[in-house]
Amino acid sequence: MTDPGASLPPVTGAWRAGDPPGDRLWFTASRALALEAGAILPGYTLAYETWGTLNSDASNAVLIEHALTGDSHAAGPAGPGHPSPGWWDGLIGPGKAFDTDELFVVAPNVLGGCQGSTGPSSLAPDGEAWGSRFPILTVRDQVKAESALADALGIERWAAVAGGSMGGMRALEWAATHPERVASALVLASTARASADQIAWAAPQLHAIRGDLSWRGGDYYTAAEGPYRGLGVARRIAHVTYRGEPELETRFANRPQRNENPLAGGRFAIESYLDHHADKLVHRFDAGSYVVLTESMNTHDVGRDRGGVAAALARVTARTVVAAVDSDRLYPPYQSHEIASAIGGEATVLTSPYGHDSFLIETDQIAALVKTLLG
């Protein structure tokens, strides 16, 4: 049986200065960031990538927002600095849905992440890793940081902001917080606020990481070993929610993993599949960022301090396309219908067996939505 993360360094998956930069660029803020929960982040950096060319009036800029364990590498091949191909590579590029012959596409690594942006594994002003001292972030804080990036790039108004899952939360928050800066928005497999069910699924993931003896209260960055076992368990739990039950049954049923016998202590095929995804994540992602970003999703509520969700979404002036997936058991379609109804439209429901992950897989269906979005 595999041991995901065996022999890994303590900071699993965090990008560090000296690592290959890949296609990353960096924006470092010139001022502190006042956070929604009351703390002050004295400074921060966002890693980002771009494709295409910004036109003379900066009217062709598109912001792409990644999901929980994504990063700025939304397009392009795997290579030095990028362990995986771009997660929306089928949608971004010359002649693709987000046509970089016409558009300037920007994809930042979210604040709190671990792929070049400031997060728990980053150095605080005292030269030590932030670790447990890293402040609580909300989706609204992340959008606030991204608005400073837009200012630095000279982009007053995005032609489109698009994302799925956590990326959809940020796209929606952009449209509600800065209606004058968003011409159109694509919100995929997401929600206007976290539900009890979503928070409940996140709870055992957070407990798994914090229950790992190597977590050390979040201050493991100079230790001999990081909490990769807990992170692996968290990924196993999460990945079940990302896929549709009919797909898993069709692919795996109760079949044993090849050359293994569950009656002799071996694994079922579905267990091997989950082990594989856990192993992949702990090699490219930091547990501290997983905790910070999961909690930012838990506290997501576009209506907070705005009179509720309906009042907040009434602020949206962007042409908005909202889409759900019929087999998504983590972000069920009713949540997309609620968003679309509050904005004054109707949600599209994609048909796919792949559950929540369909927003990463169903390229043709999403390309059609982008075509509608961009006119």
Measured distance between the N- and C-terminal CA atoms of the chain, rounded to whole angstroms: 51
pLDDT of residue 14: 92
What pLDDT shows up at residue 10?
A: 57
| pLDDT tens-digit readout, 34-75 | 999 999 999 999 999 999 999 999 999 999 999 999 999 999
pLDDT tens, residue by residue, 360-369: 999 999 999 9
Give CA separation, 97 vs 70, 124, 167, 263, 326, in Å.
20, 40, 18, 49, 22
* Among the listed residues 248, 266, 139, 256, the one whose alpha carbon sits nearest the alpha carbon of residue 190: 139
pLDDT of residue 367: 98
3 state SS for 186-228: EEECCCCECCHHHHHHHHHHHHHHHCCHHHHHHCCCCCCCCCH
CA–CA distances in Å: residue 23 to residues 53, 76, 81, 292, 326 = 15, 9, 8, 25, 35
Whether 169 and 305 have beta carbons less than 8 Å apart is answered as no
3-state secondary structure of 41: strand
Burial 177-205 (b: 16+ CB within 10 A, else e): bbeebbbbbbbbbbbbbbeeebbebbeeb
DSSP alpha helix (H) spans, 243-321 = 245-251, 269-282, 287-298, 309-313
The H or E element that residue 224 is part of is none
Q: What is the pLDDT of residue 375?
A: 85
Contact 74, 88 (CB under 8 A): yes
CA distance 66 to 48: 11
* pLDDT of res. 321: 98
CA distance 225 to 214: 6
Residue 19 is given by DSSP the state: B
* Structure token digits, residue 293: 């970003």
What is the DSSP-derived secondary structure letter of residue 330? S
Q: At what angle do helices 196-210 and 228-242 cross, to 10 degrees?
A: 160
Q: What angle do CA 324, 329, 335 make, to 5 degrees?
A: 45
Question: pLDDT value at position 13?
Answer: 82
Q: Check: CB of residue 63 under 8 Å from CB of residue 38.
A: no
The residue extents of the domains of the chain are 25-374
Q: Are 42 and 142 in contact (CB under 8 A)?
A: no
25-374: CATH superfamily: Alpha/Beta hydrolase fold, catalytic domain (3.40.50.1820)
Q: What is the pLDDT of residue 79?
A: 93
Low-confidence ranges of the chain (pLDDT < 70): 1-11
Taking each helix axis from N to C terminus, what angle separates 287-298 and 228-242, rounded to the nearest 10 degrees? Answer: 40
Q: What is the pLDDT of residue 83?
A: 87
Active-site amino acid positions: 165, 328, 356
pLDDT of amino acid 11: 61
Return the H-helix or E-strand segment holding 46.
Answer: strand 45-51
**Beta strand 61-65 pairing with 319-325:** unpaired
> In angstroms, rounded to a whole number, what is the distance separating the alpha carbons of residues 66 and 161?
11
